[in-house]
Amino acid sequence: MIKKFYITTTLPYVNGKPHIGFAMEIVRADVLARHKRILLGEENIFFNTGTDEHGQKIADKAKELGMSPQEYTDKMSQNFKDLTKNLNISNDNFIRTTDDYHIKAAQKFWEIVKKNGFIEKRKYQVKYCVGCEMEKTDSELVDGKCPDHPNNEIEFLDEENYFFKASEFTEKLKEYFKKNPVIPEFRQNEIVSLIEREGMKDFSISRLKEKMEWGVPVPDDKEHVMYVWFDALVDYISTLGWGGEDETKFNQFWGWADKPVDSTVFQIAGKDNLRPQSAMWQTMLMAAGIKNSDVIYINGHITSNGQKMSKSLGNVIDPNEAIEKYGVDALRFFIIKHLHNHEDSDWTEKRFYGAYTADLVNGLGNLTSRILAMSSKAGIKLFDEGRGYPIFGRQHSKLENYDFNGEAEEIWKSISDLDELISRTQPFKLAKSDDSEDKEKLKVVLLSLLNGLWAVADWIEPVMPETAEKIKLAVKENKKPEEPLFPRIEK
Ligand SMILES: [Zn+2]
């Protein structure tokens, strides 16, 4: 039986416009999904993304704008939907946590966890950062403030709430971490030492409706709505139909703890999401008897000219602007090749421009037009020679180890190998010769160049789908593309 592969991004919170950090996350997920589809077949891949839409921050923002929360989230969610289109993302579903089927699934999840004895009502006082929509322990606060939101006052909530008894899963979570689900290793070590040091703590998973009503209603208690994280994390399975009428996809792509299926569950997230994804969500799955995630891939952050991106500094990078100027494949390429797999990366226009010019205009674009100019002139065609398609051996791809940078390095190494083959064999000189031996040599050289170019197109397809298609078309027609693949851009 062929293995299945499930991929999900985190769901971005819709209180702002999509930024480049999320573009990085979703492009990586898309590259992996496209790679796996070629390797395992369309029907064996499920790729999820969407938007997270409940909670205090959304309610506040909508109020400020004089809109209902639903109107506000409808408008904001569309920005993310548009981004998936603009980035040429091949997701199988786009889930909104305000979708009916998600709300029903979140409620069913609550009921199961409660029935299993892991939800109870308690009185408590908590320190809460509205910026993170998360409770904070004293050790996480710096001078009594959230280090990520120093301008927000920490709120003290004193109320009766439902608690999720995550502490009961500390040992089981340690066992789970022995499988090394978190990539890279330094993030795996970070979460393991946090759990070793502090264990899992029970956390509040409801809010009083009279204080904040924009959430999923708690089943059988009209006074409470669910805490936004508790509802949102369930999207990873509600997207598969879990908790609905047809759970076929869930049973194929995810599965229960006692009924594991031959499928890999892959999650990708930014480093600020390490704890929710690898600890909170995993204990929630344990409490519901559902299989844990297999891989949790953690991205670094992107800085803008060496500084943290923030609205107040006005240095937030809009992925749509980069697409407009350089094209979607150029942005996808830059993310895969030039933004570090796991460390923070700096984004500057200069870096992007430099990479675009060196690797695409002078690299892949120039190579394509040189080879096809020579082969069309000489009338040497790859597919007239009765050759099969040279197919890139995808099972050897570095993407099998989730190494995006490594994959790009290898591709660009083979591009420079082809450049080198041209300088070494000088086919443009051979083309001028009337000598029959030179003619034969020219044919051999051009065929290996065309062969190599086709393999490169095959190889880059998950990263740059449109470019791969253009190159393949040019090779089939044996004609230099009329427009350069990557137009030179004036700085
Ligand atoms: Zn915060």
> Boundaries of CATH 1.10.730.10 in the chain?
349-477
Please give the distance, rounded to the nearest whole angstrom, from the Cα atom of residue 291 to the centre of ligand 1. 30
pLDDT of residue 194: 97
Give tens-digit pLDDT for 138-150. Answer: 888 998 999 999 9
Question: Which residues, in sequence order, are CB contacts of 270 under 8 Å at separation 6+?
Answer: 10, 21, 25, 298, 299, 300, 301
> Boundaries of CATH 3.40.50.620 in the chain?
4-299
Q: Calculate the alpha carbon distances from 272 to 132, 202, 301, 476 in Å.
A: 10, 20, 9, 46
pLDDT of residue 397: 95
Q: Is the pLDDT of residue 491 over 80?
A: no
Please give the distance, rounded to the nearest whole angstrom, from the Cα atom of residue 68 to the centre of ligand 1. 25
CA distance 116 to 168: 12
pLDDT of residue 379: 95
Please give the distance, rounded to the nearest whole angstrom, from the Cα atom of residue 44 to the centre of ligand 1. 38
Q: Kindly give the residue spans of alpha helices, DSSP state H, lying in 267-394.
A: 274-275, 281-288, 319-326, 328-338, 349-355, 366-378
pLDDT bin (cut points 50, 70, 90) of residue 1 is: low
Q: Is the pLDDT of residue 224 over 70?
A: yes
pLDDT of residue 323: 97
Question: Which residues, in sequence order, are CB contacts of 399 under 8 Å at separation 6+?
Answer: 31, 32, 35, 407, 462
Please give the distance, rounded to the nearest whole angstrom, from the Cα atom of residue 52 to the centre of ligand 1. 17
Please give the distance, rounded to the nearest whole angstrom, from the Cα atom of residue 150 to the centre of ligand 1. 8
pLDDT of residue 125: 82
User: Would strands 203-204 and 155-164 be described as parallel, antiparallel, or unpaired?
Assistant: antiparallel
pLDDT of residue 387: 66
Average pLDDT over residues 224-237: 97
CA dihedral 415, 416, 421, 427 (to 10 degrees): 70
Please give the distance, rounded to the nearest whole angstrom, from the Cα atom of residue 124 to the centre of ligand 1. 20
CATH class for the region spanning 4-299: alpha beta
Give tens-digit pLDDT for 86-138. Answer: 999 999 999 999 999 999 999 999 999 999 999 999 987 878 898 988 888 88
Give tens-digit pLDDT for 241-252. Answer: 999 999 999 999
Please give the distance, rounded to the nearest whole angstrom, from the Cα atom of residue 116 to the centre of ligand 1. 32
User: Would strands 134-135 and 119-129 be described as parallel, antiparallel, or unpaired?
Assistant: antiparallel
Give tens-digit pLDDT for 363-407. Answer: 999 999 999 999 999 999 998 766 666 777 888 999 999 999 999
Please give the distance, rounded to the nearest whole angstrom, from the Cα atom of residue 155 to the centre of ligand 1. 11
Give tens-digit pLDDT for 18-75. Answer: 999 999 999 999 999 999 999 999 999 999 999 999 999 999 999 999 999 999 999 9
What's the CA angle centered on 426, arms 421 and 432, to 5 degrees?
Answer: 150
Give tens-digit pLDDT for 279-330. Answer: 999 999 999 999 999 999 999 999 998 898 887 888 889 999 999 999 999 9
Please give the distance, rounded to the nearest whole angstrom, from the Cα atom of residue 168 to the centre of ligand 1. 26
pLDDT of residue 83: 98
Task: Looking at the structure, give the CATH architecture of the domain made up of residues 349-477.
Answer: Orthogonal Bundle (1.10)
Three-state secondary-structure class, residue 170: helix
Average pLDDT, the chain: 95
Residue 208 pairs in a beta bridge with: 224
pLDDT of residue 264: 98
